[in-house]
Amino acid sequence: MAVPFADPIKGQYKSVYMPFQATGSYSAGIQKAYYFQPDHMLDGDNAIIKGIELITTPQAASFYAQNAIRDNMPPFPSTSLSSAVLYISNAAREVLATIPFIDLVRTENDGKLLRTFFTEHLWQNCYVEFVDPTLVTQNNGLQFVVYYEERKK
């Protein structure tokens, strides 16, 4: 069934932040996979992911004003959207979806949220990659908003 873009997503949302570091697993690297931390509430067994949004630097002021979440580090600059991709993967690490960052930003898509329907994913196996590692600095991180519906068990 088709859903109009203007309709709100029924369910809940969760803010997910991915910080970068000078060294270690979240330091810069070409075509390096930056995996999300485990979050069982966002796994396919517990939730249907209905939408994903990336908060960029220009959006940050209004986002942080509305959500008292992670205001100590600036988010990803919008000028770098064409250099990164989000991969949604399952428990076997098979890629279910490849989503360019530009598709995750509402201001780049006439205010429309990227609507999804992921049911077989494992959140800790989902990751992002960058074409240009200079975009990954400890001065910024990635702020996502994941819209989901809890699965009834």
Beta-sheet strands, E only, within the chain: 12-19, 34-35, 47-55, 84-89, 95-100, 114-118, 127-130, 141-150
**What is the rounded distance in angstroms from the CA atom of residue 90 to the CA atom of residue 98?**
13
The whole domain housing 121 covers 12-150
Note whether 18 and 146 are within 8 A (CB).
no
pLDDT at 22 over 80: no
136 belongs to a structural domain: yes
125 belongs to a structural domain: yes
Q: pLDDT category, 63, cuts 50, 70, 90?
A: low
Note whether 27 and 20 are within 8 A (CB).
yes
Most confident stretch, 79-83, 138-142, 143-147: 143-147
4 belongs to a structural domain: no
2 belongs to a structural domain: no
35 belongs to a structural domain: yes
Contacts of 114 (CB under 8 A, 6+ apart): 51, 52, 53, 99, 103, 104
29 belongs to a structural domain: yes
3 belongs to a structural domain: no
1 belongs to a structural domain: no
pLDDT value of residue 71:
46
How many domains are there within the chain?
1
Write down the H helix ranges in the chain. Answer: 57-66
Out of 22-26, 82-86, 97-101, 115-119, least confident range: 22-26
